[in-house]
Structure 1
Amino acid sequence: MKHLIIYAHANPESLNHSILETTVSTLEKNGHEVVVRDLYALDFQPVLKPADTNAMKAGETPKDIKTEQEFITQSDVITFIYPIWWTGLPAILKGYVDRVFSYGFAYAYGEEGIVKMLTGKKGFIINTHGTPKEYYDEIGMTEGLKITSDIGIFGFVGIEPVGHLLFGGVGSLNEEAYKGMLKEVEHTVDSLFS
């Protein structure tokens, strides 16, 4: 299978980067083809500007958007790896979704409602957040995050969500806990994409 990983964390020393490395090595070990789009390393421009919208309406998709859309088109599985900031996506990833998952590419409107144009692809998400997991579970935030990303983004465009890992308490745990998280990533990726 062809995997596209959209990665959004600026610090190469972060847990997210270790999660990225674990995901890539596990997929490659299982014979998958993997492409990583590191949005910070690419200096991806996240702001959807009127010029972008006008160009796409005229059938002249800006080059940086078109490049990302081609990676999506060629992939079987799309994985997002990112930290939860203010109970949502980092701005650079939100902007990626705004610009790349555009009308006419990822979805459209037809006589019977929404046309999901990325049907047939699978989606997987891995998140970290500093808030303790138990608190997010208790207040319903864990489920809320899954709904807004799995259904609100992936499901809206026809990508089938196949898994979502959320790791809480990041920044206040011991080394064993972080190793356990990476083991869970490896095990989950293995079981989903063996």
Structure 2
Amino acid sequence: MNLLVVKANNRPEGVSSKMYETFMESIKEAKNLNVTVYDAFEEDMPYFGQELFNAFGKLQSGEELSELEQRLLAAKQKAKDVFAEADVVVFVFPLWNLTVPAKLHTFIDYIDEAGYTFKYGPDGSPVYLMPEKKIILMNARGGYYSSPEMQNMEHAVNYMRSIFAGMFGMEVTEEVVIEGHNARPDIAEEIVENGMRKVAVTAEKLMY
């Protein structure tokens, strides 16, 4: 099985960084997994914008690309390549300011491409091009966002689910969420420990 792990936190003490470490430690002996790690904070990932469309135009006309345009095309292609090869993709990310880190959003910008992850049908509805891929979401958030009054403010897991299940038609097989450790410092250690056990269990399921 080809497994892609997308790490989207560069804070060593961040809870989602520790989720990543726990997950990788749990699968290190797996013989059935071909593991690729894409560290969004280590990759060269210029932001998606007009420069990318300029680069597409220059490719068609044969014009010379600027350095930024070359970097953009290379980064986008690398993200597409590693994603295409994966059978299962694990995203490990925090909730920052109610949403995902910009680096993770950029990765999704790179792969959210008509003709690659989806296309438009005759009536304009999306046609899924990679529905066989399995997605696992691992998220840490310091507050409580599971309650009905807070769910609408949570734009990290909800966003990821909307993209991968809703827009790309992929199955989100697992969601491991650690929440409340900042809101409840008195039980923070217990919250995190319970969450790490769930991370390990999720990892073990991939090994058999």
- Using the alignment, how far apart are the partners of 2:126 and 2:147 within structure 1? 31
State the structure with more CA Rg: 2
- Using the alignment, how far apart are the partners of 2:38 and 2:165 within structure 1? 17
Aligned to 2:135: 123
Superposed CA RMSD: 2.6
Residues 116-142 of structure 1 deviation map (CA, whole Å, 9 limit, x = unaligned): 122211001001111135xx3242518
TM-score, length-scaled by structure 2? 0.79
- Using the alignment, how far apart are the partners of 2:153 and 2:30 within structure 1? 30
1:69 to 80, 84, 87: 80
Aligned to 1:26: 26
Q: Does 1:89 find its partner at 2:100? A: yes
Look up the equivalent residue of 2:34 and give its one-letter code: E
SS of 2:113's partner is coil
- The alignment covers a number of residue pairs equal to 191
Q: Does 1:49 find its partner at 2:61? A: no
Given that residues 16 and 128 in structure 1 are in contact (C-alpha distance below 8 angstroms), is that contact kept between their aligned partners in structure 2? Answer: yes
Aligned to 1:166: 177
Look up the equivalent residue of 2:25 and give its one-letter code: S
- Using the alignment, how far apart are the partners of 1:143 and 1:122 within structure 2? 26
Q: Does 1:4 find its partner at 2:4? A: yes
Identical aligned pairs, as a percentage?
Answer: 20
- Using the alignment, how far apart are the partners of 1:26 and 1:54 within structure 2? 44
Q: Does 1:139 find its partner at 2:140? A: no
Residues 18-75 of structure 1 deviation map (CA, whole Å, 9 limit, x = unaligned): 2112212323333212111111122422x21112134447679811110110001111
TM-score, length-scaled by structure 1? 0.84
SS of 1:13's partner is coil
Residues 136-175 of structure 1 deviation map (CA, whole Å, 9 limit, x = unaligned): 3242518965443223334311321101111112343443
Moved more, 47-56 or 145-154: 145-154
Gaps (5+ residues) in structure 1?
Answer: none
Gaps (5+ residues) in structure 2?
Answer: 61-69
- Using the alignment, how far apart are the partners of 1:149 and 1:143 within structure 2? 14
Look up the equivalent residue of 1:51 and give its one-letter code: E
- Using the alignment, how far apart are the partners of 1:166 and 1:37 within structure 2? 20
Look up the equivalent residue of 1:35 and give its one-letter code: T
- Using the alignment, how far apart are the partners of 2:2 and 2:101 within structure 1? 25
